[in-house]
Amino acid sequence: MPTSPDDGPVRELTITGETIRLGQFLKLAGLVEAGSDVKVLLADGVVHVNGLAEARRGRQLVRGDEVSVHTTVLRVA
C-alpha cells in the first residue's frame, strides 16, 4: 500500500547502480530540470524521503526508498 498522505499511486523508477543521489533521482523522474530547481524544492521543505523531510541534494537513495514531492510519490527500484 502506498505511503503517501493521499494514498495515491506510487511510481517506480529503476536505477542502474546500487545508489543514486536525491538530486539526480528528481531529474530522472522529470520533476526538475536543473540542480538549482532541486535546491528550491529542498528549501521549500516539500521533499520527503521515507516520510521524513530531506534537505540534502546529495542524499544517497537505495532501492526501496520512497521519495515524495507534494502529491507525487516515487519509489527507487
Residue 58: CATH number of its domain: 3.10.290.10
How many other C-beta atoms lie within 10 A of the C-beta of residue 19? 14
Q: Which amino acid is at 5?
A: P
Assess if residue 70 is contained within a domain: yes
Assess if residue 29 is contained within a domain: yes
Assess if residue 5 is contained within a domain: no
* pTM as predicted: 0.86
Assess if residue 1 is contained within a domain: no
Per-residue burial over 36-50, b = 16 or more CB atoms within 10 Å of its CB, e = otherwise: eebeebbeeeebbbe
Q: What is the per-residue pLDDT for 9?
A: 85
Q: What is the per-residue pLDDT for 6?
A: 54
Q: What is the mean pLDDT of the chain?
A: 90
Q: What is the mean pLDDT of residues 18-40?
A: 94
Assess if residue 2 is contained within a domain: no
* Residues comprising the chain, all counted: 77
Q: What is the per-residue pLDDT for 3?
A: 46
Range of the domain at 64: 10-76
Q: What is the mean pLDDT of residues 2-20?
A: 79
Assess if residue 4 is contained within a domain: no
How many distinct structural domains can be found in the chain? 1
